[in-house]
């Protein structure tokens, strides 16, 4: 029978930075500092997004989680529309974008959105 020894004897010395990177799921800091570039603050940068071939400035709009219950046939049709539009690379193609586009006219016409 083999001689028993403590588990710590089998451990090899490990660099502390590599150990912390593994434990905390972070990337180790580079040994050579990268050249610094001056970038404007995130608020000052203009953000644009590409939709349907036209470029427009994106405004920062917060999103709130909302849970609703839909009729099953509406949910199925909405999911099907979303998937087909994604395959055809049409916008809007996400459930969220389709619902936002559908809700906006109703909210405006009933005076809830300016």
pLDDT tens column, 64-88: 999 999 999 999 999 999 999 999 9
Measured CA to CA, the distance from residue 103 to residue 96 in angstroms comes to 10
Q: Judge whether residue 96 has pLDDT over 90.
A: yes
Closest-CA residue to 91 (of 50, 59, 58): 50
Cα–Cα distance between 101 and 94 in angstroms, integer?
A: 11
Q: Are 92 and 101 in contact (CB under 8 A)?
A: yes
Cα 36 to Cα 91: distance, rounded to the nearest angstrom: 38
Q: How confident is the model at residue 89 (pLDDT cuts 50, 70, 90)?
A: very high
Q: What is the pLDDT of residue 18?
A: 79
d(CA 108, CA 20) in angstroms, rounded, equals 53
What residue segments make up the domains of the chain, in order of their start?
Answer: 70-114
* pLDDT, tens digit (0-9, with 9 covering 90-100), for 20-75: 887 888 765 556 655 555 554 444 444 444 444 444 456 778 889 999 999 999 99
Which residue's structure tokens are 């000052």? 44
Q: φ and ψ at 55, to 5 degrees?
A: -105, 135
Average pLDDT over residues 86-100: 95
Burial of residue 92, with CB atoms counted within 10 A of its CB: 0-12 exposed, 13-18 middle, 19 or more buried = middle
């Amino acid at each position: 029978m083999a001689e028993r020894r403590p588990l710590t004897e089998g451990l090899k010395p490990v660099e502390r930075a590599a150990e912390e990177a593994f434990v905390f799921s972070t990337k180790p800091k580079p040994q050579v500092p990268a050249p610094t570039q001056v970038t404007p603050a995130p608020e000052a940068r203009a953000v644009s997004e590409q939709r349907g071939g036209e470029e427009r400035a994106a405004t920062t709009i917060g999103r709130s989680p909302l849970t609703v219950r839909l009729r099953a046939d509406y949910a199925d049709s909405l999911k099907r529309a979303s998937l087909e539009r994604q395959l055809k690379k049409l916008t809007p193609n996400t459930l969220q974008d389709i619902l936002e586009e559908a809700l906006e006219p109703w909210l405006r016409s009933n005076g809830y959105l300016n």
